[in-house]
Amino acid sequence: MLGALLVSMLTLAASAGAYTAPAPVTTPPPVPPCRTAHVFVAAPLDSGSAKPGQVFKFTVADADAATPASPAAIVGAQGYGIVSVVRHARGGGVSGALVLESRFVVAADGSHVPASFVHTDSGFVEGKSNDAPGALNWIPYVSLFSHGYNALHKGSDVTIAPSDRLRIVVGDDSIMGGCQVKEEEQVQASR
């Protein structure tokens, strides 16, 4: 018994001397910000009249500084995109919605520069449901009328006017993970 205790103490002492410090934690290098630009559509886009696959034009109002991955001058340039999804407003308070995809911007030298809407705020726009306030559903008898109203009325369509500012990512770095989009304000669409 005493021999086993002595052996275990010697083993513990030997292993304490062999301790090595853990390797330092390395952080990955920071991802650079993406080059973004603000654009305005050339003609209004309305969920009540737009069709999936419809082509739309936009103009670049301002842009971040050029990068080695995206060196083209694009301020004032014309760009093209498509309406990929349309949901018309309908009864039951279902609002209209648009999903837009920007495709490219035609640079000053005539080249096509890839562009995509910032996924956090510019690609999807939805109208209002125009439903009655939810608190009315808790009032006896009044809830009967509010449920009836919510079931019968129509939601509103959404319109993106030429004065509404949208944001795009210039180039294809964000798709490949080579840059990170900075957060900004939400799209200002007419509803």
List Cβ neighbours of 74 (8 Å cut-off, separation of 6 or more).
37, 60, 63, 105, 107, 108, 113, 170
pLDDT digit string (tens) for 92-121?
A: 777 788 888 889 999 888 889 888 887 655
- Indicate the pLDDT class of residue 176, thresholds 50, 70 and 90: confident
At 56 the pLDDT is 95
Longest dimension (CA), the chain: 92
At 185, phi and psi to the nearest 5? -65, 160
Mean pLDDT of the chain: 75
Cα separation, 124 vs 158, whole angstroms: 11
Count Cβ atoms within 10 A of the Cβ of residue 19 and give its class: 0-12 exposed, 13-18 middle, 19 or more buried. Answer: exposed
- Indicate the pLDDT class of residue 32, thresholds 50, 70 and 90: confident
Question: Above 90 in pLDDT, residue 41?
Answer: yes
pLDDT digit string (tens) for 57-87?
A: 999 988 877 766 666 678 889 999 999 988 8
Rounded to two decimals, the pTM is 0.67
Question: Above 50 in pLDDT, residue 188?
Answer: no
- Token digits of residue 152: 């019968």
At 187 the pLDDT is 46
- Indicate the pLDDT class of residue 159, thresholds 50, 70 and 90: confident
Strands 45-46 and 97-106, how do they pair? unpaired
| Alpha-carbon dihedral angle through residues 85, 168, 120, 67, given to the nearest 10 degrees | 140
Q: What percent of the chain has pLDDT over 90?
A: 16
The residue with greater pLDDT, 145 or 166, is 166
List Cβ neighbours of 114 (8 Å cut-off, separation of 6 or more).
103, 104, 170, 171, 172
**Fold exhibited by the domain 31-170:** Lipocalin (2.40.128)
Cα separation, 147 vs 57, whole angstroms: 41
Count Cβ atoms within 10 A of the Cβ of residue 121 and give its class: 0-12 exposed, 13-18 middle, 19 or more buried. Answer: middle
- Token digits of residue 146: 């509010």
Domain residue extents for the chain: 31-170
